Amino acid sequence: MKTKKDLFREPLTDTQLLMTITISIFVAMYVLAMLALGGGFLHAQQVFDMLNDNASLIIVSCGLTIVMITGGIDISVGAVTSLVVMACVLYLNKGGNVVVAALLALGIGLAFGLVHGFLVSYLEIQPFIVTLAGMFFARGMTTILSVNPQKVEHEGFTKLRETQIEISWLGYTAKNGNVVPARIELGVVIAICCLILVFLFLKFHRSGRGFYAIGGNQTSALMLGINVKRTRFLAYVLSGLLSGISGFVLMMHTGAGNATNAAGMEMNAIAASIIGGTLLTGGVGNVIGTFFGVLTLTTIKKIVVSSGLNQPWWQSITTGGMLCFFILLQSVVLSRRNKKKKAV
């Protein structure tokens, strides 16, 4: 039986190692921002604002991480999220029910997940082509529903959207002397719940472990008795389902629908997953790392803005540079580790 000392001496897995690097870089980056820039970085509300603004991205990134662990890709998640927002906004403005709107969001996401999963897993069509078609289809459907921006005017949904969790002891004192409590939107709670559920599923469920086996080596997974087609199918279904939840959460945050909603979200989700330690080749990844990948991306953008570089291209440049840095870092760390394993 292994003692505590033996457990601590065990080397980290590739997934754990890359996740640890991401968390360490995020913490170091945020601490440096607090020391160098001060301002909002000194208040807990800054972190909560990052979560409030990116709750939908966290959910989408979790779904994309699942697909990437299997060695696949899903570039339709942003378009599906946009379609869900527009469909739910129009439904609510026609006097619909909030619960039914949530079910509509889940249904749209699930429908895309089922179609993508079937085409990729059972017809063995390249996932990039399948999800690219899904992206164009979802964007087209969003435009058909409405070209003009639509604001949610449903009273029940407005009350739900304006509901926030206040944490007074994490607040700050404003210049006028009033204490401003820290506020968290309900969408963040939903995002954290999704994150925990996906983490537990990947770690403890047989199908979750099967995702890693397929991404690592499909032939070995078959020899272990894993149903590769069914497991890959499940990955795309979960990705679609999480895109549906993301759309509803995004609508709760913005309170409006637009044909350009969630534009570029799939690219941000891929970037967050990679920064969080998920490899495009599959077999390595963790949604906790992805969560910190989202926070790292957001922190970079806030640091750029706080530094006085308000032009949007500076955010794109720094994001691209950080992404290249993490890809290079992952390659170096994993190549050195593989060399040590071969030497042993």
**Strand partners for 151:** 256
What pLDDT shows up at residue 337? 60
Pair 79, 266: CB distance under 8 Å = yes
Domain 14-28+43-332 CATH class label: mainly alpha
Pair 265, 318: CB distance under 8 Å = no
pLDDT tens digits along 88-129: 999 999 988 999 999 999 999 999 999 999 999 999 999 999
Element (H, E) at 208: helix 206-216
Give burial (CB, 10 Å; 0-12/13-18/19+) of 141. Answer: middle
Positions of the chain with pLDDT under 50? 1-2, 7-8
pLDDT tens digits along 66-91: 999 999 999 999 999 999 999 999 99
What pLDDT shows up at residue 7? 44
What pLDDT shows up at residue 9? 53
Other beta carbons within 10 angstroms of residue 209's beta carbon come to 16
Provide the 8-state DSSP code for 39. G
| Integer Cα distance of 190 and 244 in angstroms | 12
**pTM of the model as a whole:** 0.91
What pLDDT shows up at residue 1? 47
Domain chopping of the chain, boundaries: 14-28+43-332
Give burial (CB, 10 Å; 0-12/13-18/19+) of 250. Answer: buried
| Integer Cα distance of 268 and 287 in angstroms | 15
